[in-house]
Structure 1
């Protein structure tokens, strides 16, 4: 099967997405029934990801991989951990390299001014993949690097949110950060503990919290637009259920509130000594920007709605 031929004539984005979903179903079926990863698809994926930004089929590759992960997570019968390891292990190092490449790209260029551009489409597709990787992490006792990279290198995402990318992508990334700060391993969920017990997750969450609190100290919140609205296919008419009041996107504002507060909560809980809790964390409170304080105050009003 020549996978590149499957996409070469799919200039229509919908048809290309449908082709990716069909390919995802095939690869997953082979993984589940034959316990084998499609070598042709794997080679295509490796070459595509390594060829970024020159390769034009990046979104197709990301859609397919995301689709396979989702198929795996939906299957209640299949051995999900084994399937995910066989799928992701050969891609682990390449996915980390791609993470670095796409998130350190020059996002202030004209290629990212429209949410319908190929460059923006690649970013949206990659955000969907990161969300799928986060959801799949719970299946493995020892998560792969590609399932941890969002926590360990979240500064790339934080910088991206402050770039000139379209608002719809910024919103997706902020909501993804919200899922990160709320994430718990299966063991932590079963234990019912208010705080994380899994060592690798504690390490990752601490890295995430440190990065978030660091940018908050640098007035990161001041640079995030909160006036964006969902619309009908890019028009200026607000879509039904659009959660905007007084010119602010309440969904994003609530998500930002939760992200900052959970990061601060985790940092305080994991401080090595009581002196650090009373000292450094207190200083962080005092050094937050004025907009950060507004987020904290607002959070007291919206916490019941989260």
Structure 2
């Protein structure tokens, strides 16, 4: 069977079956934003993310500092979504021999900016030659409570941490190769290149029954929560806020803003569930059942999972 026929998550499921976890100190293994391991009285969180030229970024279209920042943010976002603080990182580099040093120097300057902002340290790594540029970061975080995808309960509300859809719009603008951009377009591009993990919302995460960071798209990521928690998630369309810059973009290019809000990846905002009133954007609720649904005044529609997939 070809990898493309298995799909990303089918592949992951099959590979995980080869490596069963038989360790009482592993609290959470596969199937969440982070693995969680008990070490003494501490809970350590482990995550990893990679940026591959041609799949995650186009080298000629990205500032290397932005690449280093984004790689760091994607890891920090996973740690935060599980209720932890980022502590340590390892970086592996696969570099073409003809790559200019100034590019990889810029990547590390971006990682340094992220370190200073989020409060972690890079403590090691590895370097190899490659025909394709790849930069991989592993991160360890620390927490006193693990928040995963499997504890959403009937009666919970669904929250998001901010407006969504901006990153997808920003990417589309980048790919347009325009000679100049309007101010609102520059802000959307900035959101794609320089997202911020919501480390400022850590206390809200710890009050939540479940949490996931929005990296593949709201519907796709809530789908993971639905599957792991065995619940039905209802999004109320009228409660989804439309960012003003996204609204102008959609009017200018004749787009549907809700397709961006529901399916934009690489947002690195948070989706949370809780029976408490959180000071966040309430967009829906949890019922008995399965799947992710969009509720309008006319109907309740099950949403297709059109989030980002590698295969």
Is the shorter-chain TM-score for this pair beyond 0.5, marking a shared fold?
A: no
- Which protein is richer in helix relative to its size? 1
- Which protein is richer in strand relative to its size? 2
Could you tell me the TM-score, scaled by structure 2's length?
0.24
Does 1 or 2 have the higher relative contact order (CA < 8 Å, sep 6+)?
2
Could you tell me the TM-score, scaled by structure 1's length?
0.24
